Structure formats: C-alpha cells, structure tokens
Amino acid sequence: MTSTINSAEFRANNLKTTLVLGVIAVVLAILPWALGHFFESGNSWLRAVDFALLYIMLALGLNIVVGYAGLLDLGYIAFYAVGAYTFALLNSPHLQAVIPEWLFQPNFFVMMLIAAFVAGVFGVLLGSPTLKLRGDYLAIVTLGFGEIIRIFMNNLDRPINITNGPQGINNIPAVQFAGYDLGRPIEFLGVSFEKIHLYYYLILAMCFFIIFVSMRLQRSRIGRAWVAIREDEIAANAMGINTRNVKLLAFAMGASFGGVAGALFASFQGFVSPESFTLMESIMVLAMVVLGGMGNIPGVILGAVIVSITPEILRDVINPLQQALVGRKVVDPENLRMLIFGLAMIVIMLVRPAGLWPSKQRRAELAPKTKTISQQENDSLQDAERNHD
Amino acid sequence: MTEVLLSISGINKRFGGLHALSGVALSINKGEIYGLIGPNGAGKTTLFNVLTGLYQPDEGQFTFNGKDLFRKKPNVVVEAGIARTFQNIRLFANMTALENVMVGQHVRTHTGVIGAVFRPPKARAEEAAITLKAETLLAYVGIADRAEELARNLSYGDQRRLEIARALATNPQLLALDEPAAGMNPKETDDLKKLMEKIRDDGVTILLIEHDVKLMMGLCDRIAVLDYGKKIAEGIPELVKNDPKVIEAYLGVAPE
C-alpha cells in the first residue's frame, strides 16, 4: 500500500497523524483534572470514564471474534467474568488458605497474564464444540455458555465454597504496582493522586496496549486468515488455512482481552458478584461493536465510548430536561434514560447500518451494489452436494 | 521420463442412494495439462472435490507425490501441494485483490500471534516477502493494476485471474481449475489458454475441468472422460475424441 502513496503525501499524513495523536494524548492525560474542575461530581464522571475504558477493551476483544472472524458471540461477558473471578480468587483473602503462597497476590504483570490465559482457555472451551456452527446457531450456543458461567458462579458456594455464590467476593485488594498500592493516594510532585485517578491511568495504559495488539493482529497473517474465514470459510479452508485452529485462536484471543479487562474490573471495584455478568452486558458489548463499526478499531472504540457514556450523560440531563419542558417529574428518569438510549440505537442503525465508523470493506459490503460474488456464494458447495454437478 | 504426480484408484463416493463416483482410477503425470470432461451430472465436480479434499471419498486410494491423501482435510491437501479454484468463483469478496493473494500464502508462512504483535525482524521479513510475492503473482496473471481493488469490484475475467493467482500463492505442484473459462468470451478464453500454458511451462501441473471441448482438445496433453460416475475413456485428445463410448455419452447413440 505504501508503495502507491508518494513520499511527500506520506510524510504529510504522518505529520497529521502525529499531531492528532499528540492532542489525544494531552486530552487523555489531563482528563481526570478537567472532569474534576468542570463538574461538581467529577469523580463519578471519572468512574464512568474508567468503565468506558474497560468497555473499550471488551469491545476490542469481541471485535476479534465477531468483527474479524465473523463468529457471532452472545456470551462474551463470560470471559470478563472469568478474568474478574480469577483476579478475585487469587488476590482476596477468600481462598487464601488453600492457594499456594507463590500464587497468592502475584505481581501485576503475572496476574494479567494469568487472567488472559485462563480466559483464553475458556475461549477454547467455548470454541471447540461450536466449530461447525455459524450465525444464529452459534449465537444461541454462546448465549447458553455465557449463562452457564454466570450460573456456575452463582452456585459454586456449595458443596465447596469457591465463588461465594450470589454474595460475591469482596475485600479484593487494589493492584500493587512497582511497590505502590494503587488503592491509596500517592503523592507525586506535590499532587495527590487518588485511587480513581491512579486506576484511570492504569486502565488507560492497558487499554492502549490492547489497542496496539488489536492493530498489529489485524494487519498480520493471522488477522487476514480470520477475515478470510469470515468471508468464505470453505474457500479459506481450500486455500490451506486450518480453519479449526484459526477459529479457536480467534476465540482465545478475544477471550483473553476480556479476561484482562475483567481482572482490572475486579481490582478496581474491590468486589465481584455474578450480577455484573448478565446477558444484558454481553448484548451491550455486542452493541458497541456493531454500532461503532464491526472490524474497524477506531469505530469499535467510538462505539464503546458512546454506548457506555451516553446513559451516564442522560442520567444527568433527563431530570432538568423534564423540569424545563413540563415543569415537573413525569416519568421515572431511569426508565426514560433507557428508552431514549434504545431509540438512539435504533435510529443510528437505520441511518448508518454499517456502524458509525465502518471500515471501508464493510461500507462496500452494505452498499447498494451487491451483485457479483455474494450472490454466487449462495450457490455454495452444500447446494452442489445436494444437486451434484 | 513421465513421472506420476497424482494417482487415484477405486474411488467411490455416494450421496445417499446416488453413486456419484464408482471405481474411478486415474493418474496425472508431472508437467502435463490433464483434462476432465463429461456430460452434465457425470461426476466431474464431485471427483474434483474429492481430489481437493472437500469431499471425503467412501473407498479408494489417493496418493499425491508419494503422500497418502485419502480422506484428508482440504488444508492438508493444499499443504501437500494441490491448489484449486472454484466453478462459481469464491474469492474473499471484501478483501483487496492483494490481500486475497496474501491469504493464499498462509499455508507456506509461519508468523504466529507473538510474531504478529511484536514484529521481530523475522516476522517483518516474512510479511515483506508475502507482500512482494502477492504483487508478483498479480502481475503474473496480469492484474497488477487492480491490487488495491476489493475482489468484489473486479470484472468477471479479473476475478477468475485473481482466483488463479490466489491458488498459485500456495506454491502448488498441481493446480486444479474448475471450469475457468465458463462465461468468458473467445478473446478472454484465448488469454486464459495462454495463461494456463505459461503456468504449465513454469513447472506446475494442471488439472482442468471444462465444458468447452474445443479448448480442451487444443490445450490438454491427456483427457479423461467421465459418464455416470465412471471413467469411460482416457488418453490423448485425438483418441478420446474418436472413442465410440465418448461419442455415445455425448450424443446418446452408438455410431453404426
């Protein structure tokens, strides 16, 4: 691709990209202070931002499975749960007595690797029985899987108490990072950083790492193989791609992103319970991917930010709005919030079916001119098998 | 001097009650263009799919280049050196032409997740080699100028060429083409014929299914004729053309 762009244009593009990235970096660096300065409830906004960052990680993980490999997964939040519980079990006093000492409260990076790995294993566990399924059928099985994980966590307090059932696990300590406890305020250059600020930077850093991994994977041999499977699984197999392994890898990679996000979530909250991992959460993450633009990293990030922040904004806006329009509180703000939010999603999907910021391929796919190959694809080999020759 | 590249014998394939292939045996020599013809429903595509691993035969032997490929998965067959195209083009429609050919090299390359994320020099070199080879192959089939176009937006003839380039990207010893000239005008067919001869001269053996009998007679070194799932004739085009069984299969009556 670079060969077709002449070098002056390339340098100009580079400069522009650097500038944009620089502005984004500055904005992100001062965001916690800006929020605290402009809003009375700055900390609750910052909390919403922290969650938005976690959702970006989740959405990017699901994007690998749904956006690249084209495997519809409705139980994705299970991997978030697995990551969160892995962190909780290894760090809280709950199981301290039975966990070997060397494994208890491991180093931050080791912990992240463990969470990613455990979630990845669960990804393969989900992937292997569903290899032959696609579309609606796959969606139903994954939906079941997501529920199974949640129900297990709800019930694994008997006969041996592992997950502490519906009460969940509390007293999860904050992350220890380079000798600092992120749960306590840290003085740095005369400024005091609170837990919520420290976590903001930690989650932001992990989020950038996940974005980096996503981008690298997309433009690689593996990423191309995923997209090839999404486009035409039979042809991909006939071109030498081991579709079984490559699909399992997509499940494992997607799940490991979820596992990392889950571990950060557990330590940030200090508490996990099965309630946080309902089907609704899976659907929200899927909505982020679809609304933002499947397969396109900037789009997915945008989708995650919009879907996770909008309800928070509406929470603050709806009551004053009702007062101004009608003069009194007519509808419960909580109900109205979800109503407006749902309506907004419907409108966006009607107006921009490919998502807010689709990749150029996806835009082409949904463009009116859809003849040539996609129709011929329907005369697939299954048909050939039925009618032969 | 003639070296057998692929040989099958006693291949049976049934779909429920229908015996699509019964006891088919044939062998393809290195460096030839081997044609497969037969009336509609004769089992050509079924045999083709058996040879490329998409269908698993019920019985028989299948060896390729000394390897046993009986009932092996398509990706194993590709790795052994058989690449194919599809009768109804199956490109990765929403990938560019270049990316399609890059995907074809998947089986001959090795970069995994770690290599993709951290891009050590080895992974970079491999990626550069993949891109270069993809560009070379697009030029080879004559669509270098369409590299950045999405496959779905290419013209029909260019899509056929792209499928051939993608198949060649797997470094095959045998290139299996399923009706590559279908729907082409005489000029395009002629260009395609030249391309196939070029590929053969560059050392790749070709297996060809085609309806265009005239094209087959002028192009193939040897031809096999299938009818009702059985091989009824095999040999050089002149002999096959005059074989009474072949004429009967095509015209329905035995000559007096």
User: Binning pLDDT at 50, 70 and 90, where does residue A382 land?
Assistant: very low
Q: Are the beta carbons of B20 and B14 closer than 8 angstroms? A: yes
Query: Is B116–A222 a contact, with Cβ atoms under 8 angstroms apart?
Result: yes
What pLDDT does residue B255 have? 54
From B256's Cα to the closest Cα of chain A, the distance in A is 31
Q: Which residues pair with B82 in a beta bridge?
A: B174
Neighbour count for residue A201 (Cβ, 10 Å): 15
Pairing relation of β-strands B33-37 and B222-227? parallel
What pLDDT does residue A256 have? 97
Asked if A232 is an interface residue toward chain B (Cβ–Cβ < 8 A), one would say yes
Which helix (H) or strand (E) covers residue B16, if one does?
none
Query: Per-residue pLDDT averaged across A301-308, rounded?
Result: 93
Query: Per-residue pLDDT averaged across B5-34, rounded?
Result: 93
From A371's Cα to the closest Cα of chain B, the distance in A is 8
The complex's ipTM works out to 0.93
pTM for this model (two decimals): 0.89
Q: Which residues pair with B223 in a beta bridge?
A: B35, B235
A176, pLDDT greater than 90? no
Lowest-pLDDT range of A139-143, A366-370, B33-37: A366-370
User: What share of chain B has pLDDT > 70, as a percent?
Assistant: 98
Site from A237, A239, A247 to mutate, B interface, most B CB atoms within 10 angstroms? A239
What pLDDT does residue A363 have? 67
What pLDDT does residue B84 have? 95
A6, pLDDT greater than 70? no
User: Binning pLDDT at 50, 70 and 90, where does residue A83 land?
Assistant: very high
Beta-sheet strands, E only, within B42-116: 59-64, 67-68, 82-84
What pLDDT does residue A132 have? 86
What pLDDT does residue B232 have? 92
B85, pLDDT greater than 90? yes
From A226's Cα to the closest Cα of chain B, the distance in A is 10
Q: Are the beta carbons of A14 and A28 closer than 8 angstroms? A: no
d(CA B78, CA B171): 9
Neighbour count for residue B76 (Cβ, 10 Å): 16
What pLDDT does residue A315 have? 78
Query: Per-residue pLDDT averaged across B48-53, rounded?
Result: 94
What residues of A are in contact with residue B57 (Cβ under 8 Å)? none
Query: Is B119–A249 a contact, with Cβ atoms under 8 angstroms apart?
Result: no
Lowest-pLDDT range of A174-188, A227-241, A286-300, A341-355: A174-188
Which chain B residue lies closest to A373 (C-alpha atoms)? Answer: B152
Site from B100, B152, B158 to mutate, A interface, most A CB atoms within 10 angstroms? B152
Lowest-pLDDT range of A30-34, A234-238, A370-374, B32-36: A370-374
d(CA A193, CA B20): 75
Helix, strand and coil in chain B, % to nearest 5: 45, 25, 30
CATH 3.40.50.300, chain B: domain bounds: 1-81+174-183+205-256
Q: Which residues pair with B227 in a beta bridge?
A: B230
What pLDDT does residue A327 have? 76
- The mean pLDDT value of chain A amounts to 86
What pLDDT does residue A365 have? 64
Which chain B residue lies closest to A216 (C-alpha atoms)? Answer: B117
Tell me which of A312 and B230 has the higher pLDDT. Answer: B230
Q: Which residues pair with B231 in a beta bridge?
A: B226
User: What share of chain A has pLDDT > 90, as a percent?
Assistant: 51
What pLDDT does residue A68 have? 94
Query: Per-residue pLDDT averaged across B110-129, rounded?
Result: 94
- Distance spanning both ends of chain B, measured CA to CA: 39
Three-state DSSP state, B96: strand
User: Binning pLDDT at 50, 70 and 90, where does residue A374 land?
Assistant: very low
| Candidate from B79, B102, B159 with C-beta closest to A240 | B79
B20-23: long-range contacts at Cβ-Cβ below 8 A with a sequence spacing of 24 or more? B20/A388, B20/B46, B20/B229, B21/B46, B21/B47, B21/B50, B21/B57, B21/B229, B22/B229, B22/B230, B23/B230
Buried (b) or exposed (e) across A63-92, using 16+ Cβ within 10 A? bbbbbbbbbbbbbbbbbbbbbbbbbbbbbb
What residues of B are in contact with residue A213 (Cβ under 8 Å)? 117
What residues of A are in contact with residue B150 (Cβ under 8 Å)? 361, 364
Query: Per-residue pLDDT averaged across B232-254, rounded?
Result: 86
What residues of B are in contact with residue A253 (Cβ under 8 Å)? 113
A377, pLDDT greater than 50? no
What residues of B are in contact with residue A362 (Cβ under 8 Å)? 94
What pLDDT does residue B135 have? 97
What pLDDT does residue A103 have? 87
A181, pLDDT greater than 90? no
What pLDDT does residue A1 have? 43
Torsion, Cα A15 A21 A26 A28, to 10 degrees, reads 170
What residues of A are in contact with residue B78 (Cβ under 8 Å)? 238-240
Asked if B185 is an interface residue toward chain A (Cβ–Cβ < 8 A), one would say no
| Candidate from A221, A240, A364 with C-beta closest to B111 | A221
User: Binning pLDDT at 50, 70 and 90, where does residue A349 land?
Assistant: confident
CATH number of this structure's domain B1-81+174-183+205-256, picked from the four choices 3.40.50.300, 3.30.540.10, 2.60.40.1120, 3.30.2350.10: 3.40.50.300
Tokens of B30: 């290195």
How is the beta sheet containing B174-178 ordered, strand by strand?
B82-84, B174-178, B205-209, B33-37, B222-227, B230-235
| Candidate from A4, A216, A374 with C-beta closest to B117 | A216
B145, pLDDT greater than 80? yes
Quickly list DSSP for A233-283.
HHHHHHTT--HHHHHHHHHHHHHHHHHHHHHHHHHHHS-B-GGGG-HHHHH
What pLDDT does residue A370 have? 44
What pLDDT does residue A376 have? 46
d(CA B55, CA B70): 10
| Candidate from B20, B84, B116 with C-beta closest to A238 | B84
Query: Is B127–A220 a contact, with Cβ atoms under 8 angstroms apart?
Result: yes
CA A300 → CA A242, A295, A372, distances in Å? Answer: 28, 8, 29
d(CA B52, CA B81): 10
Quickly list DSSP for B180-228.
TTTT--HHHHHHHHHHHHHHHHTT-EEEEE-S-HHHHHHH-SEEEEEET
Site from A221, A361, A362 to mutate, B interface, most B CB atoms within 10 angstroms? A221
Residues, chain A: 389
What pLDDT does residue A361 have? 65
Q: How many CB pairs under 8 A join A and B?
A: 152
d(CA B118, CA A161): 41
What pLDDT does residue A331 have? 75
Residue ranges of the domains in chain A? 44-292
Asked if B74 is an interface residue toward chain A (Cβ–Cβ < 8 A), one would say yes
| Candidate from A220, A377, A384 with C-beta closest to B45 | A384
What pLDDT does residue B132 have? 97
A146, pLDDT greater than 70? yes
Query: Per-residue pLDDT averaged across A62-79, rounded?
Result: 95
Query: Per-residue pLDDT averaged across B131-139, rounded?
Result: 97
